[in-house]
Amino acid sequence: MLLLLYRMLLQYCFRQQRSTQVAVVHCSAQTSPLHVLQKLGQMCMVISSNTGRVYRPKDCDRLVLYLKDLNLPKPDKWGTSQLIAFLHQVHYWLVLVFFVFLLRIILILTVWFLVNEST
């Protein structure tokens, strides 16, 4: 029930934003950082500026990149999720390695865990 209410609240908030698009990445066991970069490539244009390359939304003022069920990507043999590690360092990785900036892009991440109430 709480999950449904939370998703309805997010949808309501998205609808209230003018000139904002929402791009959803439905995470699965196979989701990787490449999927996030591909979604950004689909929804954004790259502009060259004096400070480097800037990713900005194509057809709107703001882009919400919504990653659903971030707990589902399968960890590697060391127990690390590549996607979560990428998201921890996405700002620094993109800026320092490729001199790329994200402009007017908001990340929303949801993680769902089942709680065993009997313990």
Residues 6 or more apart whose Cβ sits within 8 Å of residue 77 = none
Nearest to 113 by CA among 70, 64, 57, 65: 70
CATH superfamily, with its number, for domain 20-109: P-loop containing nucleotide triphosphate hydrolases (3.40.50.300)
Q: How far apart are CA 98 and CA 32, in angstroms?
A: 19
Nearest to 58 by CA among 98, 110, 104: 104
Q: What is the pTM assigned to this prediction?
A: 0.77
pLDDT tens for the 119 residues of the chain, in order: 666 787 788 878 878 878 889 999 999 999 998 898 899 989 999 888 776 778 899 989 999 999 999 989 888 899 988 888 888 776 655 554 555 677 888 888 888 776 665 55
